[in-house]
Amino acid sequence: MDLTSLTIDDLKRGWHQTATARYCNYCDASWETTTAAATIEQHLTIVHGGIQSPLIHLASRYNTLTTKQQNLLTAFATGIKDADLAKQFQLAAATIRHQKFTFREKAKQAKLYLAIYQSVFESGQTPNDLIVLPEQPGIIDDRFAITEDEAVQTLKQYFNFDHDPLQLKRWPKKQKTIVTILTRIIDEIPMNRPINEDELNHYLQPIYFDYTTLRRYLIDYGFLKRTVDGRQYWRTTTKED
């Protein structure tokens, strides 16, 4: 699941909607836009064990909850009483109450951080802001006029974000789409240090079977530079970097 393309409400309910369909956050299931939410919730319960549990246990680098915390939150979601939960986990009731307090404090911290982040990085932006690309060696045309909204939709279409490491589903035909997917692929390459070709291939091979094509396009579109002898590669920088 690509967290960056979903709202908090999308994450909480376990499914999201586009202009054409409704989609499960955890599998390839989809429904018509007129499908009742109760039908999708039934799918979440039967296939994924509920609405809260798959989110709590989501395998993502952004999920920093420990196994113990995940188990506690799953139990809290059932509405079980603190005393009964304490017996179940063989903990003191005071420990359960303290853990609830800790979760509330973390939520307050996250809320404040989100407000700060949005104030700093999202104020004054519009949906049509263009993403920043490396300086191009050739003629600049509409291939490089990619809005943030376009990028989000394209990346969702072409990448399997449920797979770790990142995995490209198929190679696009349009050059603008190729440029867009390269903006995500390049994030898998370390910055601020040169790497040799074997190291570069190590990062690219899990993403797509034709990793030589990835490498070539990353160079052609200025995302990577290399020495004349081809022994060293390094990421280029943009104004944002």
Task: Report whether pLDDT(127) > 60.
Answer: no
Contact call for residues 200 and 161 (beta carbons, < 8 A): no
Residue 3 has pLDDT above 90, yes or no: no
Give residue-wise pLDDT tens across range 204-223.
Answer: 999 999 999 999 999 999 99
Q: What angle do CA 6, 31, 3 make, to 5 degrees?
A: 15
Strand partners, 195: 233
- Measured CA to CA, the distance from residue 108 to residue 102 in angstroms comes to 10
At 113, the amino acid letter reads Y
Whether 57 shows a pLDDT value over 90: the answer reads: yes
**Angstrom distances, CA of residue 57 to CA of 7, 96, 107, 194:** 18, 20, 17, 36
Non-local (6+) Cβ contacts of 141 within 8 A are none
Rounded CA gap, 128 and 122, in Å?
Answer: 13
User: How does pLDDT run across 141-169, given as a tens digit for each residue?
Assistant: 778 888 888 888 899 999 987 777 889 99
What is the residue whose two structure tokens read 């899990």? 206
pLDDT at 233 over 70: yes
Residue 239's pLDDT is 47
pLDDT at 238 over 80: no
**Bigger pLDDT: 124 or 20?**
20
| Separation between Cα atoms, residue 144 and residue 72, nearest integer Å | 47
pTM, to two decimals: 0.51
Judge whether residue 1 has pLDDT over 60.
Answer: no
